Amino acid sequence: MKLDARIPAGPLAEKWTRFKANVRLVSPANKRKYEVIVVGTGLAGASAAASLAELGYQVKSFCFQDSPRRAHSIAAQGGINAAKNYQNDGDSVRRLFQDTIKGGDFRSREANVHRLAEVSVNIIDQCVAQGVPFAREYGGMLANRSFGGAQVSRTFYARGATGQQLLLGAYQALSRQIGLGKVTMMPRHEMLDLVVEEGQAKGIVTRHLVTGELKTHAADAVLLCTGGYGNAYYLSTYARGSNVTATWRAHRRGALFSNPCFTQIHPTCIPVTGEYQSKLTLMSESLRNDGRCWVPKAKGEQRAAVQIPEGERDYFLERMYPSYGNLAPRDIASRAAKRVCDEGRGVGPTGLGVYLDFSEAIGRLGEATVRERYANLFAMYHEITGESAYESPMRIFPAVHYTMGGLWVDYHLMSNIPGLFVLGEANFSDHGANRLGASALMQGLADGYFVLPYTIGDYLSQQKPRGEKTDGPAFQEAMGATQARTKKLLGVNGRKPVSEFHRKLGKTLWDTCGMSRTKKGLEEGLAILGGLREEFWKDVKVPGSGADLNQSLEKAGRVADFLELGELMCRDALEREESCGCHFREEHQTSDGECARKDAEHSYVSAWEFKGEGKSEVRHTEPLSFEELALATRSYK
Amino acid sequence: MTLERLGFETLFSYRSGGILTVEALESILFLAPSLQTDDFLMNKEILRMIQSSIGRKWIVAVTGVLMIGFVVVHMTGNLQMFAGTPDKINGYAHLLKSYPLVLWSFRLGLLATAALHIWGTISLARENRIAKPVGYAVAGRKSRLQVTLTSVTMVISGIILLGFIIFHLLHFTAQVVDRSYASMETVVGGVTMPDVYRMVVTGFSKPWISLFYVVAMALLFSHLRHGAASVWQTFGLRDRNSAQFIEMGSWILATVLFLGFSSIPVAVLLGVLKL
Amino acid sequence: MKLHLRVWRQQSRQSEGSFVTYEADGLTPNMSFLEMLDVVNDRLTKEGQEPIAFEHDCREGICGSCAMAINGEPHGPNAGATTCQVYLRSFRDGQTLTVEPWRAKAFPVIKDLVADRSAFDRIIQSGGFVSVGTGQAPDANAIPIGKGIAEKAFDAAHCIGCGACVAACRNSSAMLFVAAKVSHLGLLPQGQTERKQRVQKMVAAMDAEGFGNCSNQYACEAVCPKEISVEMIARMNRDYAGAVVDQI
């Protein structure tokens, strides 16, 4: 299969401008004849639905939550990048573009990333106009903070709840369109299948989560804005409901899945405390400004942290990366923590944790200053663990927190199925093998507010409005398949709750396709997952019926898809015989244990094609060419 | 908006002897949308806004403040009982009665105020009951849910106070509780006038009446402790900084009123005030 | 650690509900309250019973999904926390916990501990926004906003729409929720143009949804996981009066 990314011709910096100037348009009078389905109401989905409705399209918006405001974008803490250069510190579109490409370890598309950097400035304008209360300086101007992977201050923030404020801005814009009758909002609806009619995406099948009603919805285009799939790991910083079902169902209908093994693992999270644990909580990266990471030098150390003398502590990040020390980038810091734990020197009851120690900072700055800087984080830590980080060091451990992989899209954000567009974290497009902090929010809003509203016109202008009829064979087939699958899940009637399978899947992925990967481990992982999937369909227990609110059924469907995805993640990791960004293959490392990228063989985007039940997926590749930036090796020593 | 439309014309008409009809009352209550004016629709919107949840809260608060003003003045007047001579309070009562037009407009205004206050609170409270058809099986801790006795008993304290006011009017104004009041007269400075002082002392000499008055004043205390603090919130004048002063102020106001009013029956029973 | 649970079970919106008792055993104080429910639910599933339906998503106190009253207290015993942020160390070993859904006419129970809070969405749809289309915005720094104003607007905007204010209120009043949005947008220069009509429309929508009226007891503020101040309600009352005067 030839993957055409449809990147416009011309110099990189002019591609988007030229594209906009030449893109085909739908006339205002005709826009209202087109229906667009938007699945998901996070930053990408809500912003796209609102913007399309403002343009005059008929929009149907779906989310599985009880309200569009609850999408998981709401939980983003740190901030949103934009090349505003308000700090006069040398920022520019070009620099944001460079940082993002480099941060992604040269595994993303130059043209997409440059466009992202270009529209980043419009996002901030738009959000401020909506009433997003960004942090301000005393003079009333917008404040910025610095984030990893950049040498400029370009991150806009609203305390520790930037995602919430941005999402509420988009939610309010969406609500306005709902109120005006231009968007039909369908909360508590889960998309369970994509309808592909004559090769084009023309609708979806949903289940109403309260009544259980399965229904088909037709449209002229379908937008998936359904987020990432990190919950495949069971334990992650994702919301419990985040799932891959919408994109996975689209994948099974022919949409290619790109770079599934690219998973970001964030170094500073509160470690697991027991089997029952359901969720990992992120502690802001900013803590590493003053906290020092260490583990005991001796294995099996039993003493409490404060009783271990200075000489018996290993400040491993400072030792391994003397120039960046505790501020080494996310993937590097995470791997280092894993390494010392693997050596048996991890701390805490599970041995999976390292200390993040503020005693030196408290000694140097005084407790009052530390309190002033981090009080809310220390309080959050105390709330969860019951421990005071003022008295003894915090325990932290890396956790899954974002997925760079997703459905393959071209420059138009359209997948290989015409009419199926994929936005935000659900697509693979902008972050390569590692995402920089504060760039996820930027991408979601860029796609929804400023990219898709242009690119969708190009597609729709070539389509005849199909109307709302859903009686075609494609719709019936998709409906039948969904009914059968629901029935099958309810009919297994085994012994084990869904969560047991999910936990096992998560543990397997974490162990074999987590922070570091080996051929042997991945092959073992594949074997375990194959068995687990079989076992699932034999032994899962889904109580209740399909005719009302049944959270077990919802979970079962999602975990069934995660199980299939898990195998694909392992296969992708197996076939990418190099290390890059988050993807660390132990076979491919430099003499000092860093990523060894193989640009000659692996400078591509993998794109997996579903070939049918029980058949192996086939990998296609889209080669990446770097015209503007020279491929370089990252070093943080 | 002209004064006419505000209903001043109607007000004026019964000031000069007109009869207070339901229509007239309504036209005052709802700022009299005149059906003839071309901006009728706009007025309808105002009417709707006034009848909204917040609109009625404003009505309750404004009327509440007016009545607080009244009771403060009333108490100040009553305290003339302690002037050392009955002539003081008798003269004061006589003065009030010598301007019947003022007195009656004041009384009717007060009646309308009370009517509005009651209409507002009852309609709000009815909606509140409907809005919470089922409570929690286990009551949360009062400390967590900010439950205070005075705030949760506003309707009860209000209703009992209404009963008290009716009794009070029958007692001293209509004088039907004790028929002998009508014949109690005194002469001050050559002018014959009702002997209010005697009426009060006679009335409060009966312990059950005194007790009833003191209990009612305790309820007034309770009602105002919450009510006087609440008006600031409804008027939008309460914030984090002023909250503690407002709470303290309502305690002081309610306490002063309680002590001021109750002092009279207590003083009578203790024999401090006597004939 | 062990807990006795009395959980409200209700099959559907139409059906009658009742309390069912469950023993939760083998718990640890570091477990979250919702993780304890997960454990109970897995056991119920294995026994072939339907697990307790409850809403939850982010489990870090920001999405606003989780919503239940523990011993009559919305979001449980701790100030400034959502249900998902309650850990078992907040309870005594062997304690009896009565767990109920939000109680309010405007939030009908759908199943077990799940209530329908869509009334909040409809209130926002009535006017809880700034009418600015994508692409219409001037430069973000074109209008300076004082740090204090921005902070205050954030305090209001931090509302997570969980509905605890309504659940805690004796009158099921939604004033704190509505006031938070009215204040957030009313404080910022961007929200001024529509300020008067916004408060008017949102209050009308609030009234139409069947919420009760504020009687100034401030239980809402006490249980709000984001500790939003009732100052916002005062501000809304003022804005509303302004809107009435404007009509005149």
Q: Considering only CB atoms, which chain C residues are within 8 Å of B49?
A: 200, 240, 243-244, 247
Where are the strands (E) in A387-536, listed by range?
A: 394-403, 406-407, 420-422
For residue A233, is pLDDT > 50?
yes
Residues A277 and A377 in one domain: yes
C243 reaches B (C-beta below 8 A)? yes
- Check: CB of residue A152 under 8 Å from CB of residue A438: no
Chain-centre distance of CA B214, in angstroms? 16
Subunits in contact with chain B (3 or more CB pairs closer than 8 Å) = C
Q: Which residue of A has its CA nearest to C139?
A: A125
Is A157 domain-assigned? no
Return the H-helix or E-strand segment holding A541: none
* Most C CBs within 10 Å, among A84, A175, A185, A376, to test the C interface: A175
In the predicted model, what is the mean pLDDT of residues A138-153? Answer: 87
CA distance A458 to A453: 9
Q: Considering only CB atoms, which chain A residues are within 8 Å of C144?
A: 136, 139-141
pLDDT for A132: 98
Residues A385 and A302 in one domain: yes
Paired tokens of B194: 């009702």
In the predicted model, what is the mean pLDDT of residues A444-471? Answer: 95
- Chunked into runs of 10 residues, chain C (248 residues) has average pLDDT values of 98 96 95 97 96 97 97 96 96 98 98 98 98 96 96 97 98 98 98 96 97 96 97 97 89
Out of C213, C244, C248, closest to residue B53 by CB? C213
Subunits in contact with chain C (3 or more CB pairs closer than 8 Å) = A, B
CA distance A326 to A288: 6
In chain C, what are the domain boundaries?
A: 3-111, 119-247
Q: From the CA of B245, how many Å to the nearest CA of chain C?
A: 14
- Check: CB of residue A443 under 8 Å from CB of residue A591: no
Out of B137, B152, B238, closest to residue C234 by CB? B238
C210 reaches B (C-beta below 8 A)? yes
B145 reaches C (C-beta below 8 A)? yes
B148 reaches C (C-beta below 8 A)? yes
**B141/C103 CB distance under 8 A:** no
pLDDT for A286: 73
Strands C73-74 and C69-70 come out as antiparallel
**Mean model confidence pLDDT for chain A:** 95
Out of B145, B151, B152, closest to residue C73 by CB? B145
DSSP symbols for A294-346: EEESSTT--S-GGGS-GGGEE-HHHHH-TTTGGG--HHHHHHHHHHHIIIII-
Regions of chain B with pLDDT less than 70: 1-42
Question: What range does the domain containing A295 cover?
Answer: 266-399
Residues 6+ apart with CB under 8 A from A65: A41, A71, A187, A188, A241, C57, C63, C65
Paired tokens of C5: 């649970």
In the predicted model, what is the mean pLDDT of residues A392-409? Answer: 96
* Most A CBs within 10 Å, among C62, C177, C228, to test the A interface: C62
Coil, strand or helix: which one is A409?
Answer: coil
| Residue with the larger pLDDT of the pair A291 and C54 | C54
- String of b and e for B84-97 (b: at least 16 CB within 10 Å)? eebbbbbbbbbeee
- Check: CB of residue A501 under 8 Å from CB of residue A547: no
What would the pLDDT profile of A63-89 be if each residue is shown by its tens digit?
999 999 999 999 998 899 999 999 999
B141 reaches C (C-beta below 8 A)? yes
Q: How many CB pairs under 8 A join A and C?
A: 229
* H-state helical runs in chain B: 8-15, 22-29, 40-50, 53-78, 86-97, 100-131, 142-145, 149-152, 154-168, 196-205, 207-234, 240-269
Residues 6+ apart with CB under 8 A from B129: none
A135 reaches C (C-beta below 8 A)? yes
Is A589 domain-assigned? yes
| Share of residues in chain A with pLDDT > 90 (%) | 84
Coil, strand or helix: which one is A230?
Answer: helix
Q: Considering only CB atoms, which chain A residues are within 8 Å of C132?
A: 126, 129-130, 173
CATH code for the domain of A497: 1.20.58.100
Is A542 domain-assigned? yes
CA distance C83 to C61: 8
**C50/A543 CB distance under 8 A:** yes
Q: From the CA of B142, how many Å to the nearest CA of chain C?
A: 9
Is A168 domain-assigned? no
**B131/C172 CB distance under 8 A:** yes
> What are C98's strand-pairing partners?
C6
Among the four given CATH numbers 3.30.300.30, 3.40.50.1970, 1.10.3720.10, 1.10.1060.10, the one describing domain C119-247: 1.10.1060.10
Is A593 domain-assigned? yes
Q: Nearest-5° angle of CA A186, CA A191, CA A195?
A: 115
Q: Considering only CB atoms, which chain C residues are within 8 Å of B133?
A: 105
CATH code for the domain of A369: 3.90.700.10
- What is the count of structural domains for chain A? 2
- Check: CB of residue C75 under 8 Å from CB of residue C162: yes
Residue A136: DSSP 8-state: B
Is A450 domain-assigned? no
Q: Which residues numbered 93-122 in C keep a CB inside 8 Å of some CB on B?
A: 98, 100, 103-106
Is A586 domain-assigned? yes
For residue A550, is pLDDT > 70?
yes
pLDDT for B41: 53
pLDDT for A159: 87
Q: From the CA of A277, how many Å to the nearest CA of chain C?
A: 7
Q: Considering only CB atoms, which chain A residues are within 8 Å of C79?
A: none
Q: Considering only CB atoms, which chain B residues are within 8 Å of C197?
A: none
Q: Is B146 exposed, middle or buried, given 0-12, 13-18 or 19+ CB atoms closer than 10 A?
A: middle
Positive/negative CA dihedral, A494, A499, A500, A501: positive
**A543/C51 CB distance under 8 A:** yes
What would the pLDDT profile of B144-189 be if each residue is shown by its tens digit?
999 999 999 999 999 999 999 999 999 998 999 888 998 999 998 8
pLDDT for B42: 58
CA distance B215 to B219: 6
Last-in-domain residue among A399, A426, A442? A399
* H-state helical runs in A91-143: 93-103, 110-130
**A129/C147 CB distance under 8 A:** no
Q: From the CA of C137, how many Å to the nearest CA of chain A?
A: 5
A350 reaches C (C-beta below 8 A)? no
B–A contact: 3+ Cβ pairs < 8 A: no
What would the pLDDT profile of B7-41 be if each residue is shown by its tens digit?
333 333 333 333 333 444 444 444 444 444 445 55
Q: From the CA of A557, how many Å to the nearest CA of chain C?
A: 16
Q: Is B208 exposed, middle or buried, given 0-12, 13-18 or 19+ CB atoms closer than 10 A?
A: exposed
**C120/A67 CB distance under 8 A:** yes
Is A304 domain-assigned? yes
- The torsion defined by the Cα of A45, A51, A55 and A60, in degrees rounded to 10, comes to 30
Subunits in contact with chain A (3 or more CB pairs closer than 8 Å) = C
- Check: CB of residue C132 under 8 Å from CB of residue C190: yes
Strands C69-70 and C96-100 come out as antiparallel
Q: From the CA of B133, how many Å to the nearest CA of chain C?
A: 6
Assign domain C3-111 to its CATH architecture.
Roll (3.10)
Strands A155-156 and A183-186 come out as unpaired
